[in-house]
């Protein structure tokens, strides 16, 4: 039977509960335990698929096609495992299940209530992964902040489980903030005391307090927090700001977070942590030998969380290539044919981001044209790939009005068209082409060079596709489909001949990049950018030489 760890948050949101949960999971995994993490979110949307990225950051997609919270991305990147629909549950999904059961008559004769019906459904889902027999430990991160009205049923479910489960099968870790008051030059523990009190009022007693802080906690301060929060001093864990999220597991190891949790769970005979690969990655990350500048062209660039997995995939690929990847965010709405050269001239590579709707697409098309003509390494993801197809149609094939029917329903050249099975779709939630599909790669292609394989599987989230009616025109003019779905021929990868690195993918490779398995397309793209940067430098040096001669 699995044991359960619950992670709650207090004082404020955005304390990095997901990173702390993932770090603890990493440490337990490194000691030989089988661990998974799940996230319970208090909002009413059935999943975050219907949320604008400005609301909730990127929507992460699992192999089984679940649209989930971006924290699942951290879990996968840290643990190098695949998560699934079961790993992300929202209030909306809980209510949907209970209401469906009520309509079917499962509670016939009874008043259906938050307690016990909603809380029972929450508990059932909290236990689900643990009952599969696959895991020693299941970590459950509770979204939101203690004291929020909407998270009350989740906290109540944790309270009941803390009571129902054997003492040694359950740990509650509470993450709080210790603010530093500059004027008083003091760290303040009162908000933490209050948040623990609030949690206790709701009946949950945390076993471990993890304190986010900008300054180290003294032993005296730790003792004070321990005394007033009713935990032992060694259960007060300092979580100092780290230079990268990937340092956090090591910091938690130093603080003994995993050991205190293992003791409470009465797990003995655990191995010493094997973090060799992790440390190797960090070593490369901290000692880059060069630098590349990548332009990220998107329309949600004001919010970094909107492109979380892409940014993390760059960190992984940079470490492999031992070079620092500096990402410059460029708003697609600000790019015009007049300013494009000026805006993109210092880049070593260009990534055109995924997206929906027409805002900013002309800027994306202009940026692709620049990358194609200037032989700048180019990488288009999903909408980015579709923009590359449109750009080629307009400027190489000469079809000036070519477009995607997503943006122009009456274009005479619908080079990107709505997928057949999408035409009958009316509801917006969970109806895109979602999750993992296989793709067959042409062995004589750039895609093959980067993947070193003809058979891959990647995750999707889209409704439109490359229109196969035009495939021959594109191929003859030099934009070739190098990866296709083996069963329906859907074009998954396009690439340009006679270009150092120009690739567009209909799927989302960023969702599968992890610390231990950096994604091959990102690795190849950064390698191409590195080559571009080095040659640019050589060209400049020889120009200077000529000038001085
Ligand atoms: N809007 C495009 C589609 O639905 C691209 C989606 C995406 O970039 N994720 O096909």
Looking from the CA of residue 355, the nearest atom of ligand 1 is 8
Would the CA dihedral through 229, 232, 233, 239 be positive or negative? negative
pLDDT at 41 over 90: yes
Predicted local confidence at residue 302, as pLDDT? 87
pLDDT at 110 over 80: yes
Predicted local confidence at residue 257, as pLDDT? 97
Encoding tokens for residue 495? 């690439």
What is the per-residue pLDDT across 349-395, written as a single tens digit (0 to 9) for each? 999 999 999 999 999 999 999 999 999 999 999 999 999 999 999 99
- The residue contributing the CA closest to ligand 1 atom 3 is 462
Average pLDDT, the chain: 95
Whether ligand 1 lies within 6 angstroms of the CB of 383 is answered as: yes
Predicted local confidence at residue 322, as pLDDT? 96
- CA-based nearest residue to 68, from 521, 515, 461: 461
**Do 67 and 49 meet the contact criterion of CB atoms below 8 Å apart?**
yes
Q: How far is the CA of 383 from the centre of ligand 1 (A)?
A: 5
Whether ligand 1 lies within 6 angstroms of the CB of 298 is answered as: no
CA angle 377, 353, 46 (to 5 degrees): 155
Predicted local confidence at residue 52, as pLDDT? 86
Predicted local confidence at residue 285, as pLDDT? 97
* CA distances, 505 to each of 80, 402, 447, 490, 545 (Å): 23, 19, 10, 11, 41
Predicted local confidence at residue 543, as pLDDT? 78
pLDDT at 269 over 90: no
pLDDT at 294 over 90: yes
- The residue contributing the CA closest to ligand 1 atom 5 is 383
| Mean pLDDT on 283-290 | 96
**Which ranges of 398-519 does DSSP label H, i.e. alpha helix?**
446-451, 471-477
CA distance 239 to 174: 12
Select which of 170, 211, 323, 382 is catalytic: 382
**Do 5 and 267 meet the contact criterion of CB atoms below 8 Å apart?**
no
* CA distances, 104 to each of 99, 117, 246 (Å): 9, 15, 47
CA distance 95 to 118: 7
Whether ligand 1 lies within 6 angstroms of the CB of 360 is answered as: no
CA distance 83 to 147: 29
What is the per-residue pLDDT across 68-80, written as a single tens digit (0 to 9) for each? 999 999 999 999 9
CA distance 311 to 326: 10
Helix (H) or strand (E) holding 112: none
Indicate the pLDDT class of residue 525, thresholds 50, 70 and 90.
very high
508 a catalytic residue: yes
Q: How far is the CA of 353 from the centre of ligand 1 (A)?
A: 10
| Mean pLDDT on 414-425 | 94
Predicted local confidence at residue 54, as pLDDT? 86
pLDDT at 527 over 80: yes
Indicate the pLDDT class of residue 304, thresholds 50, 70 and 90.
confident
Indicate the pLDDT class of residue 55, thresholds 50, 70 and 90.
confident
Indicate the pLDDT class of residue 196, thresholds 50, 70 and 90.
very high
| Mean pLDDT on 94-106 | 97
Higher pLDDT, 48 or 520: 520
pLDDT at 549 over 80: no
- The residue contributing the CA closest to ligand 1 atom 8 is 354
CA angle 427, 429, 430 (to 5 degrees): 115
Torsional class of 269: left (φ above 0), alpha (ψ -120 to 50), beta (otherwise): left
Whether ligand 1 lies within 6 angstroms of the CB of 382 is answered as: yes
Helix (H) or strand (E) holding 208: strand 208-213
pLDDT at 181 over 90: yes
Indicate the pLDDT class of residue 244, thresholds 50, 70 and 90.
very high
Predicted local confidence at residue 72, as pLDDT? 95
Predicted local confidence at residue 386, as pLDDT? 98
Whether ligand 1 lies within 6 angstroms of the CB of 406 is answered as: yes
| Mean pLDDT on 511-517 | 97
Predicted local confidence at residue 355, as pLDDT? 94
287 a catalytic residue: no
**Do 458 and 507 meet the contact criterion of CB atoms below 8 Å apart?**
yes
Q: What does 336-365 look like in DSSP terms, one character per residue?
A: -TTTHHHHHTT-SEEEEPP--SSTTHHHHH
Predicted local confidence at residue 536, as pLDDT? 82
| Mean pLDDT on 149-160 | 96
Predicted local confidence at residue 176, as pLDDT? 97
Helix (H) or strand (E) holding 132: none
Give Cα 162 distance to the centre of its chain: 30
Whether ligand 1 lies within 6 angstroms of the CB of 464 is answered as: yes
Percent of residues in the chain assigned helix, strand, coil, to nearest 5: 45, 20, 35
Predicted local confidence at residue 538, as pLDDT? 82
Indicate the pLDDT class of residue 187, thresholds 50, 70 and 90.
very high
pLDDT at 548 over 90: no
| Mean pLDDT on 122-132 | 96
**Do 283 and 276 meet the contact criterion of CB atoms below 8 Å apart?**
no
382 a catalytic residue: yes
List of residues 6+ apart from 29 with CB closer than 8 A: 35, 79
- CA-based nearest residue to 402, from 418, 423, 386: 386
Q: How far is the CA of 369 from the centre of ligand 1 (A)?
A: 20
Q: What does 533-546 look like in DSSP terms, one character per residue?
A: HHHHHHHHHHHHHH
| Mean pLDDT on 136-160 | 95
Whether ligand 1 lies within 6 angstroms of the CB of 299 is answered as: no
Predicted local confidence at residue 42, as pLDDT? 94
- The residue contributing the CA closest to ligand 1 atom 6 is 462
Answering whether pTM is above 0.75, one says: yes
């Amino acid at each position: 039977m699995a044991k359960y760890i619950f992670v709650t948050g207090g004082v404020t949101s955005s304390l990095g509960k997901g990173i702390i949960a993932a770090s603890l999971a990493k440490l337990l995994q490194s000691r030989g335990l089988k661990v998974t993490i799940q996230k319970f979110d208090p909002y009413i949307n059935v999943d975050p698929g219907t949320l604008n990225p400005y609301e909730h950051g990127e929507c992460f997609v699992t192999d089984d096609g679940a649209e989930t919270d971006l924290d699942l991305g951290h879990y996968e990147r840290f643990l190098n495992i695949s998560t699934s629909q079961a790993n992300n549950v929202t209030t909306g999904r809980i209510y949907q299940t209970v209401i469906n059961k009520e309509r079917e008559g499962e509670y016939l004769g009874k008043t259906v209530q938050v307690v016990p019906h909603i809380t029972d459904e929450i508990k059932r889902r909290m236990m689900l992964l643990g009952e599969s027999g696959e895991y020693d430990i299941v970590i459950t991160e509770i979204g939101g902040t203690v004291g929020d009205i909407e998270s009350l049923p989740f906290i109540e479910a944790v309270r009941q489980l803390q009571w129902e489960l054997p003492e040694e099968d359950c740990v509650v870790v509470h993450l709080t903030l210790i603010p530093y008051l500059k004027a008083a030059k003091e760290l303040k523990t009162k908000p933490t005391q209050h948040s623990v009190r609030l949690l206790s009022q709701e009946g949950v007693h945390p076993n471990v307090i993890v304190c986010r802080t900008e300054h180290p906690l003294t032993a005296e301060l730790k003792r004070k927090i321990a005394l007033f929060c009713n935990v032992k001093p060694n259960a007060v864990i300092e979580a100092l700001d780290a230079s990268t999220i990937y340092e956090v597991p090591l910091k938690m190891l130093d603080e003994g977070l995993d050991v205190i949790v293992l003791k409470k769970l009465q797990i003995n005979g655990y191995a010493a942590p094997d973090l060799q690969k992790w440390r190797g990655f960090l070593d490369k990350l901290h000692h880059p030998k060069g630098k590349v500048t990548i332009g990220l062209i998107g329309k949600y660039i004001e919010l970094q969380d909107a492109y979380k997995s892409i940014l993390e995939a760059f960190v992984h690929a940079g470490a492999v290539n031992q070079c620092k990847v500096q990402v410059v965010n460029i708003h697609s709405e600000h790019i015009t044919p007049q300013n494009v050269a000026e805006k993109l001239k210092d880049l070593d590579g260009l990534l055109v981001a995924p997206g929906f709707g027409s805002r900013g697409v002309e800027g994306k098309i202009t940026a692709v044209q620049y990358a194609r003509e200037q032989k700048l390494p180019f990488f288009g993801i999903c909408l980015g790939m579709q923009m590359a197809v449109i750009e080629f149609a307009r400027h190489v094939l000469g079809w000036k009005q070519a477009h995607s029917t997503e943006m122009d329903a009456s274009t005479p050249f619908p080079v990107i068209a709505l997928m057949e099975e999408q035409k009958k779709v009316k509801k917006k939630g969970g109806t895109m082409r979602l999750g993992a599909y296989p793709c067959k790669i042409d062995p004589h292609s750039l895609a093959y060079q980067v993947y070193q394989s003809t058979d891959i599987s990647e995750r999707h989230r889209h409704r439109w596709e490359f229109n196969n009616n035009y495939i021959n025109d594109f191929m003859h003019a030099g934009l070739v489909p190098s990866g296709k779905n083996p069963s329906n021929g859907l074009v998954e990868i396009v690439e340009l001949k006679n270009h150092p690195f120009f690739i567009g993918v209909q799927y989302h490779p960023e969702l599968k990049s992890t610390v231990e398995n950096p994604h091959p397309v990102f690795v190849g793209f950064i390698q191409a950018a590195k080559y571009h940067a080095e040659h640019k430098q050589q060209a400049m040096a020889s120009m200077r030489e000529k000038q001085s001669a």
